[in-house]
Chain A
């Protein structure tokens, strides 16, 4: 407390008379000190002090000469004082920037807020000479200090970054942050020479991913410049190799918070095609961005369906992004101009993979396949082949074949769906039995099924009102007492 009072006294003194200006050093000393409490106190005091000084215009504006030169030079005492004070201000900013790398979050936050306050005040009372157009100058240097503080190379600063997000609401701050981030990426990544920096990249991502670009041109004066800066930032971020987790995160937000705000979305082609080629979940996710480019920006992707076909592996029914993937696949296969062999290959592969799928995925994929049959009646030989060769010893379909045209899917039949008619889940069995009969003409609505989760399914089943409950009639003889009990063979009740 005593310390706080002393600091307050110090601020009063400095603000009160220029004679006691030297007491600023006390503050700066505290700011660089070890003690956390003191540093916090000093940071707050510095904020107050230099804020007031900025407002009063007691800091030298314009280009700043070196300290000695300025003190030795022949200016008025007023100028000298101002220049001297400006140097102290500079020191204070440096001290605060250091504090942003401090261990405790409270101090970091305090330093961040103080710096942002300086940014705000400097924008009102510029320290650099105003640009000739008469437009307001923005303290880029200050903001760059903040951004550098927000993006440490070897620790996760997501908490601080989320605190910073409130400033990103302002158009000018956002614009200059974007610029600063672009510069920072170029600077940092150049140093490391293509070695991924997981923490740094994670920090950059958490800083730039929530950027909310304004939607309408009318919202902002320089909309185009803003867009271009945004685009440049992302491109420079994605130019470098990303860790796998970050890759996924970028792809997840790609379609709704990056692509729409880019000036030239086609510039993402390289990134997306590379991601699509990686395979696994990353490919699934890249599909969405790629779709937008194909759909809205006339991207030609050779062998698109072949690639899509090769994406189908047993994991598609188990991954988190199942709904998104099947939504897109449904879109891609909705054209009625696709050749029958292609659709048949897709049907056959999807149903083959369905043999390992959980029930919630099955409930989605069976209507999906039914829809494919409805759109492409030529494929119906898969479920109805009246004069086919009886007693084949192999399924003609070749699962390992990568070319849909070579897979001989049209010569096969959908035995997989027939198998699923024996599935333990009653709804799945019923859904699979639909293909026994000729299909109705109306397509099934998939939207509700895509997001189906196992728990929802369970909940629905449990909440059903039972009319009567059939009972086991075989008298029990103990826990493992059934005849031919598997448990009795392998477990004991010890």
Chain B
């Protein structure tokens, strides 16, 4: 096809005389014997067809011509080695326009001839040409009309032309006549043109008249209306009585009695307001809410598409107007009062709930102000009520109670850590005291500096109150700009927390409290909260990437990032299949565990903290985190004495040989014996204050215990994974073959054994995989498949990539077919040519033979005649 196209172009370029060809085409087209109409089966609106009329004769002759010009030439020159070179300037350069080509050729020719010119022949003028044609020639056949210039009016002569040549019978003459001989013209019979002009002017006139009429009528009606209005009052008096009565009923005269009756009638009755819900109902509602939320969470965890659920076609009633109007709830607001305020917005309800709760708590606090023990119990029971549905929650509470009784110090910790309601109570009591000092209204700070100065020097409780008041005073429902302001507050609070965490002595207790207002703000503005946390994550990841690029390695971030990651798990559901904040956090943590060097004990603690984070993140969804296992394996590895690792391989950032080996190795017997499991204080991460060897060793052992516990938790978590044993294989090898259990203190051995038990008592069960069955290809049916056609000429269905592929295949097929056809025709043409050649040759030979025979017979005849003559003579 491509070749054919080229040929076509080549042919079309030299043909300069278009006119005659065109006219010939037109003749052919008009000839019914030349035209073949391709009948269409169906007429389809909007479809353009190119090939509804074909000209077989023309196209055939074109094809033959093309072939004689190219293929035949090639064929004839098939055994010739010398090649004809076309050295004409720019013959095959399509970029140069023909005119320019001509000019260049002309100049070249002139240049070539310039030197050779016969200097003695003065008369040798070069031939003058116009468009390559000799002027002399043109002069000779002067009657040729330039068909290119006026193709439209071909055949007819223009007015100017006729006027110039024949004096003109038309316009020019008429103009003269119109000035001088008007009278004469009136008497003349009107020409057709004039008649038409007359008609047009007439109709225009009529039209105008009609318009003026309509306008005047309008004016009149308007006037009439006005008049009517003026006299209407007069007529109204005279309406018949019946009508009058009706009117009076409609518009009653305000009567006092009536008014009272009506007022009484319409007055709002002491309508039963919504009944106070009983405890059980409240609990039930809460349970239902939680259940719904949990179901939502599960759905997100499995990565089911929310949109798909939402877009289920709802039932459409037969009476549906299809105007998209759905009355989903009665939003006519009832005026109601609550706590002495107008209940304005639904949005506020949440807030109110919170407040109510607080108030309740406050009441409780007031009641049992003195007796702390009682209040604890009550709070616990409250908790029980609220969370009666979830069994585990209950257990945890029971546990906490138990622990409370166990140890005094422990109790204190738990009071602050877990028993939220109690802390709220305490808080409230202190609030009372603080309230006397703090102002009641706060503007939202505009910058971080002002925010910081607002909180600086206050106690935790005061800070909380301030934050609370800022929120209340600037509730988004109160003013327009409040939303943006409070959104900013979230960012400030986050930054503040980060700063607290990076202090030399991190104020983790404060952060612990500040998480509450953070959570509340996050509930109010999820988008803003997610954006600011994402921003922090991006910054941190960016910094790390830069470090890696510059130094080739990165270090684990400070405590602030760890706290941020922890906060992320508090604010957002970490079990989602995909979550705008949690997924990047996952990625970031994965990078931390794989890219960062572990060189100090602090690094190990940070790493273990991140491991804990990972475990917490996936605790519900049970997702597989390879980095976690790798890291734990590495931590175990660095707790062993140096030797060749056998049976397992550690991966980056740990290496079988390297600097960080034996980082967690403890050899000192005394230290081993004196060790007690202790919770690692997070402040270690920023600075290691215990410098004594024993302390360090104890920390090391605690890390190891933590590692064992994490392995145990991992084992419990990933139990259900099909290749659980393969995942845990290196860890198991390390635990059973390399860890020096007997040297460990007893407590540690307990940790170790519990971890190992968890690993070992899993059944090995492998069932061969079976991929999901293909949907059977449905049988072809006779009912037509109805496909919405969005665009004509394009195959529907499939993704973009698929479509592109299909198109390519289609085009390839078409090209192939075309090429095959072309080749076949070429061969046919060649065969024809060969045949005709052979025929020609044969006929020539026959002719020659005939001639020879003829001449021979003539000779013979002559000879015989001679003989006869001689005989006669």
Residues of A within 8 A of B (CB): 313-315, 317-318, 352, 355-359, 382-386, 388-395, 413-416, 418-420, 422-426, 429-430, 435-438, 442, 454-455, 457-459, 461-462, 464, 466, 468-473, 475-494
Q: Judging by beta carbons under 8 Å apart, are B723 and A419 in contact?
A: yes
Task: Judge whether A414 and B769 touch: CB under 8 Å.
Answer: yes
Nearest chain-B residue to A435 (Cβ)? B771
Nearest chain-B residue to A319 (Cβ)? Answer: B652
Among A390, A468, A494, residue most surrounded by chain B Cβ atoms (within 10 Å): A494
Task: Tally the A-B contacts, defined by beta carbons under 8 Å.
Answer: 264
- Cα separation A44 to B765 with both chains bound (whole Å): 82
A127 vs chain B, min Cβ distance (A): 49
Cβ contacts A to B, 21 pairs, < 8 Å: A355-B626, A391-B765, A394-B764, A413-B768, A416-B723, A419-B724, A426-B583, A442-B805, A458-B584, A458-B587, A458-B591, A462-B534, A468-B526, A470-B296, A470-B297, A471-B572, A472-B572, A479-B511, A486-B710, A487-B566, A493-B509
* Bound: A318/B619 CA distance, A: 26
Closest to A465 in B: B580
Tell me whether A392 and B586 are in contact (CB under 8 A): no
Q: Which residue of A lies closest to B623 (CB)?
A: A424
Tell yes or no: B442 within 8 A of A by CB: no
Q: Is the CB of B586 within 8 A of A384?
A: no
Contact B770 A386 (CB under 8 A): yes
The majority secondary structure among interface residues of chain A is loop
Contacts of A424 in B (CB 8 A): 586, 617-618, 621, 623-625
**Would you give the shortest CB distance from B399 to chain A, in whole angstroms?**
10
Tell me whether B612 and A486 are in contact (CB under 8 A). yes
Shortest 4 CB-CB distances between A and B: which pairs?
A: A388-B768, A466-B580, A494-B681, A477-B420
Q: Are A390 and B768 in contact (CB under 8 A)?
A: yes
Residue of B whose beta carbon sits closest to that of A362: B626
Residues of B within 8 Å of A437, CB to CB, are 771-772, 774
Cα separation A413 to B290 with both chains bound (whole Å): 41
Report yes or no: B626 in contact with A356, Cβ–Cβ below 8 A.
yes
**Contact with B727, one of A384, A419, A458, A486 (Cβ below 8 angstroms):** A419
- Given A454-B587, A473-B290, A482-B570: A415 in contact with B771 (beta carbons within 8 A): no
Asked if A415 contacts B766 (CB within 8 A), the reply is yes
Q: Mark B743-758, 1 if CB is under 8 A from A, else 0.
A: 0000000000000000
Q: Report how far A314 CA is from B637 CA in the complex, Å.
A: 16
Q: A392-B768, A426-B303, A484-B396 are in contact. List 7 more A-B contacts (CB 8 A).
A: A315-B651, A413-B768, A470-B572, A477-B418, A479-B508, A483-B393, A492-B681
User: Do the beta carbons of B769 and A385 come within 8 Å of each other?
Assistant: yes
Classify chain B: how many residues form its interface, as a range. 35 or more
For B706, give its contact among A385, A435, A490 (CB under 8 Å). A490
CB < 8 Å neighbour of B768 from A357, A389, A419, A486: A389
Binds A, one of B194-202, B224-232, B514-522, B665-673: B514-522
Residue B722 interfacial (CB < 8 Å)? yes
With the chains together, A487 CA to B417 CA distance in Å?
12
Given the known interface contacts A424-B624, A466-B527, A481-B417, the answer about A395 and B766 at a Cβ–Cβ threshold of 8 Å is yes
Separation in Å of the A155 CB from the closest CB of chain B? Answer: 23
CB of B288 to closest CB in A, whole Å: 13
CB–CB B629/A471 < 8 A: no
- B residues 484-538 with Cβ under 8 Å of A? 508-509, 511-513, 515-516, 519, 522-523, 526-527, 529-530, 534, 537-538
Q: Do A473 and B293 touch (CB < 8 A)?
A: yes
In the assembled complex, the Cα of A383 lies from the Cα of B722 at a distance in Å of 13
Known: A419-B624, A464-B580, A471-B522. A491 touches B609 (CB 8 A): yes
Considering only residues 706-744 of chain B, those with a C-beta below 8 Å from chain A are 706, 709-710, 713, 721-727
Nearest chain-A residue to B535 (Cβ)?
A462
Question: B726 touching A355 by the CB < 8 A rule?
Answer: yes
Find out whether the CB atom of B709 lies under 8 angstroms from the CB atom of A423: no
CB distance from A374 to the nearest CB of B (A): 14
Kindly provide the distance from the CB of B576 to the nearest chain A CB, expressed in whole angstroms. 6
Q: In the complex, are the beta carbons of A426 and B578 less than 8 A apart?
A: yes
- Could you tell me if A493 and B682 are in contact, using CB atoms closer than 8 angstroms? yes
Give, as a whole number of angstroms, the nearest-CB distance from B341 to chain A: 26
Known contacts A392-B766, A491-B682, A493-B509; A479 and B627 CB within 8 A of each other = no
B396, B588, B617, B679: the one contacting A483 at CB < 8 Å is B396
Interface string of B632-652 (1 = CB under 8 A from A): 000000000000000001011
A471 and B420 contacting across the interface, CB-CB below 8 Å:
no
Contact assessment for A478 and B418 in the assembled complex, using a CB-CB cutoff below 8 Å: yes
| Residue pair B612, A480 in contact (C-beta under 8 Å) | no
Contact residues in B for A468 (Cβ distance below 8 Å):
526
For the complex, what is the distance from the CA of A477 to the CA of B421, rounded to whole Å?
Answer: 9
CB pair A478–B420 under 8 Å, yes or no, is yes
Residues in A whose Cβ lies below 8 Å from that of B727: 355, 419
Q: Is the CB of B594 within 8 A of A481?
A: no
Partner of A476, one of B570, B617, B764: B570
**Which residues of the partner chain A approach B683 to less than 8 Å between Cβ atoms?**
494
Chain B: minimal CB distance from A477 (Å): 4
CB distance from B301 to the nearest CB of A (A): 10
B contact residues around A357 at 8 Å (CB):
626
Bound form: Cα–Cα A317–B764 in Å: 27
Determine if B587 and A461 form an interchain contact, defined as CB atoms under 8 angstroms apart: yes
* Interface mask (B467-478 → A, CB under 8 Å = 1, otherwise 0): 000000000000
Does B829 sit within 8 A of A, measured CB to CB? no
In angstroms, Cα B563 to Cα A392, docked, is 45
Closest residue on chain A to residue B571 by CB atoms: A472
A384 near B571 with CB under 8 A, answer: no
C-beta contact mask, B387-401 vs A, less than 8 Å → 1, else 0? 000001100100000
Residue of B418, B570, B709 near A472 (CB, 8 A) is B570
Q: Which residue of the partner chain, among B300, B416, B538, contacts A470 with CB atoms under 8 Å?
A: B300
B767 located at the interface, meaning its Cβ lies under 8 Å from any Cβ of chain A in the complex: yes
CA distance A228 to B423 in the complex (A): 84
Give the shortest distance, in Å, between B682 (CB) and chain A (any CB).
6
User: Which residues of the other chain, B, contact A383 by a CB distance below 8 angstroms?
Assistant: 769, 771
> Which residues from chain B contact A478 at a C-beta distance below 8 Å?
416-418, 420, 423, 512-513, 515-516
> Do A454 and B591 touch (CB < 8 A)?
yes
Give the most central of B526, B570, B576, B768: most A CB within 10 Å: B768
Please tell me if the beta carbons of A491 and B626 are within 8 angstroms of each other in the complex. no
Q: Is B581 an interface residue (CB 8 A)?
A: yes
A325 to B606, CA, bound (A): 33
Contact of A480 among B303, B417, B723, B774 (CB under 8 A): B417
For B290, the chain A residues whose CB sits under 8 A away are 473
Contact with A along B541-577 (1 / 0, CB 8 A): 1001100000000000000000100110111110011
Measured CA separation A459–B540 after assembly (Å): 12
Contacts of B569 in A (CB 8 A): 482
Minimum CB–CB distance from B644 to chain A (whole Å) comes to: 14
Give the distance in Å from the alpha carbon of A425 to the alpha carbon of B623 in the complex.
9
Against A, the Cβ 8 Å flags (1 = close, 0 = not) of B315-345 are 0000000000000000000000000000000
Q: Which A residues touch B573, using CB under 8 A?
A: 470-473
Contacts of A413 in B (CB 8 A): 766, 768-769
Q: Which of chain B's residues has its CB closest to A426's CB?
A: B578
